[in-house]
């Protein structure tokens, strides 16, 4: 794999993982649009994807380190000391973990089915448009709830929505922000909840897939440098994406991302219909 390709895909992953525009969809579309064939088989492609997700995981943990440390500490204290009533941070910590279960379970059970039947350019384009418009509609609501008000009902609703992101083109951050806005959270709170939910589900996926990779054939030697470059690039760009989005949503709507999703979806459908790719 050329280093340039690793840098481009790292940037794509870092930016699109946190912006509501679908990282998995973009990681499928970019090589398709430019006719890149960097992987010998599906296994090496998954290995590289895991590396990119590791980079964005680190970016989220570093940027949200104060929140992560607070919630982990409160969650552990709630169990060890059996606090009653539960502290707000302890309750939110365990509800965030609860919200990751639907996506983790469905991903583990239907990984092969998802890989075989989803992720085509047409499905990605339709998903970009459909879920983008849904975000635009829901974002018109005047949500004022903050992260501290996260409830069991919210965890179930937002967690179930997150499972839809297993379909490339949906966007994990986009669908969780949509779900959070639909139950009354402010844009800032919706974004923070999305980023915090990303940490445990991505960490679990990275550990699971890396363990499987190591147990099989290990990391191909010719992929190690591109993987390292991809991790660094996705990590740095991911940090800026988190910083930028949180600044944007404090004063603006999600409309620019909706417009981008719809425009990209239409372009992809035109390319497919014209037979250009």
- At 145 the three-state DSSP class reads strand
pLDDT band at 242 (very low <50, low <70, confident <90, very high): very high
For 17-69, the pLDDT digits (tens) are 999 999 999 999 999 999 998 887 777 787 788 889 999 999 999 999 999 99
pLDDT beyond 70 at 241: yes
For 187-199, the pLDDT digits (tens) are 999 999 999 999 9
pLDDT beyond 70 at 218: no
Mean pLDDT of the region 145-164? 93
What are residue 145's DSSP bridge partners?
185
Mean pLDDT of the region 116-120? 83
How far is Cα 8 from Cα 11, in angstroms, rounded to an integer? 5
pLDDT band at 217 (very low <50, low <70, confident <90, very high): low
- Which has more pLDDT, 232 or 201? 232
* pLDDT value for 23: 92
pLDDT band at 275 (very low <50, low <70, confident <90, very high): confident
Query: Within the chain, where are the H helices?
Result: 3-18, 23-34, 42-63, 65-80, 88-99, 101-117, 121-138, 152-163, 172-182, 187-215, 224-249, 255-274
pLDDT beyond 80 at 112: no
pLDDT beyond 90 at 184: yes
178, 74, 95, 109 alpha-carbon torsion, rounded to 10°: 100
Mean pLDDT of the region 155-163? 92
* pLDDT value for 42: 73
How far is Cα 221 from Cα 227, in angstroms, rounded to an integer? 10
pLDDT beyond 70 at 240: yes
* Percent of the chain whose predicted confidence (pLDDT) is above 90: 65
Mean pLDDT of the region 201-217? 76
* pLDDT value for 121: 94
* pLDDT value for 84: 67
* pLDDT value for 36: 92
């Amino acid at each position: 794999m050329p280093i340039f390709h690793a840098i481009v895909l790292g940037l794509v992953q870092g930016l699109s993982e946190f912006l509501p525009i679908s990282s998995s969809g973009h990681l499928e579309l970019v090589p398709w649009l430019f006719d890149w064939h960097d992987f010998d088989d599906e296994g090496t492609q998954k290995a590289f994807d895991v590396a990119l997700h590791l980079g964005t995981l680190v970016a989220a943990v570093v940027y949200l380190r104060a929140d992560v440390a607070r919630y982990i500490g409160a969650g552990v204290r709630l169990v060890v000391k059996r606090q009653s009533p539960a502290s707000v941070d302890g309750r939110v910590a365990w509800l965030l973990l609860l919200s990751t279960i639907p996506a983790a379970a469905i991903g583990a059970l239907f990984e092969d089915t998802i890989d075989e039947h989803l992720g085509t350019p047409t499905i990605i384009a339709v998903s970009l448009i459909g879920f983008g418009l849904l975000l635009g509609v829901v974002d018109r609501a005047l949500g004022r709830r903050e992260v501290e008000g996260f409830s069991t009902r919210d965890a179930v609703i937002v967690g179930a929505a997150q499972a839809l992101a297993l379909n490339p083109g949906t966007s994990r951050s986009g669908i969780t922000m949509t779900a959070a806005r639909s139950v009354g959270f402010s844009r800032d709170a919706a974004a923070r909840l999305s980023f915090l939910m990303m940490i445990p589900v991505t960490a679990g996926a990275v550990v699971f897939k890396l363990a499987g990779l190591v147990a099989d054939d290990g990391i191909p030697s010719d992929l190690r440098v591109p993987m390292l470059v991809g991790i660094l690039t996705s990590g740095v760009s991911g940090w800026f994406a988190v910083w930028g989005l949180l600044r944007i949503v404090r004063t603006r709507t999600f409309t620019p991302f909706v417009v981008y999703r719809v425009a990209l979806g239409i372009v992809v459908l035109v390319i497919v219909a014209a037979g250009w790719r």
